[in-house]
Structure 1
Amino acid sequence: MLGDDEDVFDSVTWESPSATAYDIDDPITPSGPGFRQSTVGADDDPLQPKWEGYLLTSVKDPVKELAETKDAYVSYLVQAKTNLPIFSTPNPSARRRFQDFVFLRDHLVRDFSACVVPALPDKHRLEYLTGDRFSPEFMERRRLDLHRFLQRLARHPTLQRSTLVRAFFESTEWHVQMHQHVAHPPGQEPTPGIIDNISDTLLNAFARVRKPDERFLIMRENVDKFEESLVVSERLYTRVRGRTSDLTADYHDLAVAVQGLGFLESGITDPLNHFSNTLLEFSALLRHATQTTTDPFLLHLHSLLTYSHSNRAVLKLRDQKQLDFEELSDYLSGVTADRDRLAAVISGHAGSTGLGIGAYLKDRVDAMRGTDDDRSRVEKMRKLDIKIKELQDAVTTAHETSDAFSDETLREQAVFQYAKEAEMKEMLGNLADGQIEFYKAAMEEWERIIPTIQRIRVDV
């Protein structure tokens, strides 16, 4: 059971400069990035993220529960190793189903709107329609995607210490924990204010920030280039995979043809059979390299692309915060000008306010309706004063929110950069290791058959 303070998120601090991919099964010495409690010069830059410790996660052992029933589902063993003080044990573990991961992700997005929360694998797959979602291949792909999702949460200095993540690994009554979290979310729900009341009329999806921050323009440009590179790489390796599959089939067909030739050439049947076996082995090596190297690489590329989309969403949300501030400021200016115009009319100096065509037409309409007397103007000006006071408070709040969100976004970009570098290193390292393993095995096969081929003598 978790403590009584489960529904209160701890204060967020940062402690180290980078994050690295770790394997929970490997012996780890706490000496690398992500384990450091402090860094040289970290106090000089408050926008740099800091970690309080490490959290190493894994997803293992997918098991089909309630088999042969309509409520069948797959559960996964989630494990962690940590030195974070928020956890009650250094080795928490639990079994969770996919819907639990969905709940975790959805509420982290809601509770930490400024954080880059990684996306989960798409649930609407063809396997759900064909009834093959319990196949070992699909469950393994899903396990790997969920494993990568938890790794990304664990690398994040804020998300790794949320009480919801802690409960996800430790709680023995997860369903109770979920209900408590929904009933008593961390932090108070924002009360509807003037921003909410006017946002529908002022803000729209097509509005643009009028004074963009150069730092975030550079970030968005870098994100665009990174995603474009991922898309090009995914397209290239998809084509490579298709060509490799064709080669695999061609080498298999060639091996069958060489074996048939051996039956015709009785004098060299044995060497040709050896050569045919080598071709079959090479075809199997190509197939194995595709399944163990190229396919995981493509899956990781696609997963990293979705992770980048989550990062882009945070940048877009930051722009929206700035847009809220700009639009509210403009609205406040308009209301203030309207109040000043009314004050000038009441004081008998209407000409000094520079009436526009809109204000002139509005005055004519008020005159036709009989609401242009001083009493109605005074009442209207009183209401405008109240609205101006509300707008001033809203503009101040929006400005503070925009500045705070911008600072948080800068930290998030640093966190994402560290995570991206770690994943790229892991992904390209696995690709290189797989290629080295393939070529080593292929060289051994061909070097073994070369002497046999060289001994072939054919009488003409």
Structure 2
Amino acid sequence: MHGEEEDVFDSVTWESASAPYDVDHTAMQAGPGFKQSTAGAEEPHGPHDPKWEGYLITIVKDPVKELPETKDAYVSYLVAAKTNLPIFSSQTPSARRRFQDFVFLRDHLVKDFPACVVPVLPDKHRLEYITGDRFSPEFMERRRLELHRFLQRIARHPMLQRSTLLRAFLESTEWHVYMHQHLAHPPGPEPAPGLIDNISDTLLNAFARVRKPDERFLEMRESVDKFEDGLVLSERLWNRIRGRTNDLMTDYHDLAVAVQGLGFLESGITDPLNHFSNTLLEFSALLRHKTQTSTDPFLVHLHSLLTYSHANRAVLKLRDQKQLDFEELSDYLSGVTLERDRLSAIISGHAGSSGLGLSAYLKDKVDAIRGADDDRSRVEKMRKLDIKIKELQDAVTTAHETSDAFSDETLREQKIFQHTKEAEMKEMLSNLADGEIEFYQSAIDEWDRIIPIIQRIRVDV
């Protein structure tokens, strides 16, 4: 795996047909969110259906504090994977990475694949960094789980799972060298827009709206809105349940102390009351255990799924931006063409045929005052406008092709997001149900043991 030079990573052709190789169906089903592309007998692929070339199962584990007792201390995580994708040099790649490496991976996947829904990394929790608690076992485990979920979402994506950057992240022994090479030679370099361009685009797009919205994407946005509203409502509800469960936990603990005190007063039934008190304490501990192992992870996963949906919303917004660019360029081209036709009409002696109204009339008057209303000036303007029209026509064609291509990719991304969302919700709700079943089963066992003891209590009045 590590024998080859790390600066050589073959590019991947995304639309290439999958290489024929034997696949273990049992292992493939173990890959969460993976959908076999060769099972198309019952599910024929549409033009916007995602196509998986294999499976990639990742795990983030074993957080370790590196360089302890120094100012450069950090936490590294073991990243391991199991895959049958042919681009990997090993079926079980692994490497140690720190949080900044995950940040680099995420930032550059967003740049390299702008049409893909790249999951969001967990917050940096700056308070923990300031207080020094970022090396506590609880914080490291919480961060490990969030990074595991982040990498799992990337591994489920049929395009991102085959990116050369992810391959290097999982198996490169010279990751820092590869990062510098990636920065020096990005896959698709684009010229950085100037400050004026950024300001004008911001002001233009702050008030612009797509004039011919696509019904498909309107339905997608409505579906995303409903999904996020459901997540927010569920998160609010479960936070309330968590708070009331903590209140119940405290109440049962206080009741246990009170029953134990009653046992000291009632000497004839001290032993049964002590058993009852212990059961109340055990039930309070079960409530605490359920909150820590079931409710809290469920709430964290809910919030993580909400941020993932925000990333999906950002892709939909970017698609609208591509369509808006096409519409604005088309309008600009139409305006320049009309101006060129107006000048041509004036030169040919048909000034009234332009029909551009008050604005054209005022422009002609201004040109007359400046002395730029002679035919020679108009011919020069027409020549410049012809050049601009040719440039705008090329730009409009490119913008139209980009908008259509981005729309197709967005349709494909929505199906990928739907697959991932369904897999995660199944996992999330299954874990919640398992936690609830474990809690109630343990509670039933505890109460079944104490009920006969309570029933044997006899009090002489």
Q: Same fold (TM over 0.5)?
A: yes
State the match for 2:47 in structure 1. Answer: 46
State the match for 2:27 in structure 1. Answer: 29
Distance 1:214 1:191, change over 3 A: same
Distance 1:197 1:270, change over 3 A: closer
- CA distance in 2: counterparts of 1:135 and 1:168, whole angstroms: 26
Partners of 2:228 and 2:306 within 8 A in 1: yes
Amino acid at match of 2:164: T
C-alpha offsets along residues 162-217 of structure 1, whole Å, 9 cap, x if unaligned?
A: 00000001000100010000001113435879xx6996388322211000000000
- CA distance in 2: counterparts of 1:201 and 1:253, whole angstroms: 59
C-alpha offsets along residues 59-99 of structure 1, whole Å, 9 cap, x if unaligned?
A: 00111111111111110000000000010000000000000
State the match for 1:358 in structure 2. Answer: 359
Q: Which range is displaced more, 133-142 or 97-106?
A: 133-142
Amino acid at match of 1:287: R
- 2:335 paired with 1:334: yes
- Aligned pairs for 1:443-454 within 5 A: 443-454=444-455
State the match for 1:83 in structure 2. Answer: 84
Partners of 1:15 and 1:38 within 8 A in 2: no
C-alpha offsets along residues 349-377 of structure 1, whole Å, 9 cap, x if unaligned?
A: 11111132111111111111111111111
SS in 2 for 1:94: strand
- CA distance in 2: counterparts of 1:268 and 1:102, whole angstroms: 63
RMSD over equivalenced CA pairs, Å:
2.1
State the match for 1:308 in structure 2. Answer: 309
Distance 1:39 1:199, change over 3 A: farther
SS in 2 for 1:95: strand
Distance 1:136 1:28, change over 3 A: farther
Distance 1:197 1:97, change over 3 A: closer
Partners of 1:6 and 1:163 within 8 A in 2: no
- CA distance in 2: counterparts of 1:436 and 1:198, whole angstroms: 56
Distance 1:455 1:321, change over 3 A: same
Superposition deviation, residue 140 in structure 1: 0.7
- CA distance in 1: counterparts of 2:245 and 2:89, whole angstroms: 50
- CA distance in 2: counterparts of 1:15 and 1:263, whole angstroms: 79
SS in 1 for 2:173: coil
State the match for 1:171 in structure 2. Answer: 172
Superposition deviation, residue 245 in structure 1: 0.5
Q: Which range is displaced more, 419-428 or 366-375?
A: 366-375
Superposition deviation, residue 38 in structure 1: 1.5
Distance 1:8 1:384, change over 3 A: farther
Superposition deviation, residue 310 in structure 1: 0.2
State the match for 1:393 in structure 2. Answer: 394
State the match for 2:21 in structure 1. Answer: none
Distance 1:432 1:43, change over 3 A: closer
| Percent identity (aligned) | 79
C-alpha offsets along residues 350-405 of structure 1, whole Å, 9 cap, x if unaligned?
A: 11111321111111111111111111111111000000000000000000000000
Superposition deviation, residue 347 in structure 1: 1.0
State the match for 2:300 in structure 1. Answer: 299
Amino acid at match of 2:100: Q
C-alpha offsets along residues 216-235 of structure 1, whole Å, 9 cap, x if unaligned?
A: 00000000000000000000
C-alpha offsets along residues 275-333 of structure 1, whole Å, 9 cap, x if unaligned?
A: 01000100000000000000000000000000000000000000000000001000000
Amino acid at match of 2:34: G
Partners of 1:203 and 1:324 within 8 A in 2: no
Distance 1:212 1:83, change over 3 A: same
**Structure 2: stretches of 5+ with no match in the other structure:** 19-24
SS in 2 for 1:81: strand
C-alpha offsets along residues 18-43 of structure 1, whole Å, 9 cap, x if unaligned?
A: xxxxxxxxx95335762624132666
State the match for 1:111 in structure 2. Answer: 112
Q: Which range is displaced more, 292-301 or 70-79?
A: 70-79
Distance 1:438 1:197, change over 3 A: closer
- CA distance in 2: counterparts of 1:312 and 1:355, whole angstroms: 41
- Aligned pairs for 1:17-166 within 5 A: 29-31=27-29, 34=34, 36-40=36-40, 44-166=45-167
Distance 1:202 1:387, change over 3 A: farther
Partners of 1:7 and 1:181 within 8 A in 2: no
Partners of 2:6 and 2:173 within 8 A in 1: no
- CA distance in 2: counterparts of 1:317 and 1:201, whole angstroms: 13
State the match for 2:321 in structure 1. Answer: 320
Partners of 1:14 and 1:49 within 8 A in 2: no
- CA distance in 1: counterparts of 2:460 and 2:202, whole angstroms: 92
Amino acid at match of 2:153: R
C-alpha offsets along residues 408-454 of structure 1, whole Å, 9 cap, x if unaligned?
A: 00000000000000000000000000000000000000000000000
C-alpha offsets along residues 250-284 of structure 1, whole Å, 9 cap, x if unaligned?
A: 11111111111111111111001000100010000
Partners of 2:83 and 2:91 within 8 A in 1: yes
Distance 1:234 1:6, change over 3 A: farther
SS in 2 for 1:321: helix
- CA distance in 2: counterparts of 1:454 and 1:120, whole angstroms: 55
SS in 2 for 1:205: helix
Aligned residues: 449
- CA distance in 1: counterparts of 2:326 and 2:203, whole angstroms: 11
State the match for 1:13 in structure 2. Answer: 15
Partners of 1:8 and 1:186 within 8 A in 2: no
Amino acid at match of 1:413: Q
- CA distance in 2: counterparts of 1:201 and 1:338, whole angstroms: 27
- CA distance in 2: counterparts of 1:390 and 1:9, whole angstroms: 32
State the match for 2:425 in structure 1. Answer: 424
Partners of 1:13 and 1:51 within 8 A in 2: no
Amino acid at match of 1:70: K
Distance 1:35 1:354, change over 3 A: closer
> Structure 1-normalised TM-score?
0.93
- CA distance in 2: counterparts of 1:3 and 1:103, whole angstroms: 21
